[in-house]
Amino acid sequence: MKGKVVEVRIGIAETPQSVIVNLGDEIDHKNLKSKLEDAIQGKNPVLWLTDRSGRDIVVASARITHAEIVPSGVHSIGFG
């Protein structure tokens, strides 16, 4: 499990916490953005992502409020 990580934070309606998925740095950013856009626009009923451990995560597209892609090496400071 070594290597760089791309973190995807997905906001869910009426839920204070985000769904956080750690993807490998080899992820195709253009494809990831496209999948997120399609989910937010309701083009697909669910968003499937596979984390760097091989776990499949599904999120109902209708519940997604926003998403953030945090590339490896970027760290947030403070509470959150």
pLDDT in tens for each of the 80 residues of the chain? 457 899 999 999 999 999 999 998 889 999 999 999 999 999 999 999 999 999 999 999 999 999 999 987 655 555 55
**CB-based contact 19:7 (threshold 8 Å):** no
User: What's CA 39's distance to the chain center, in Å?
Assistant: 11
Check: pTM over 0.85? Answer yes or no.
no
Phi then psi for 30, rounded to 5 degrees? -65, -45
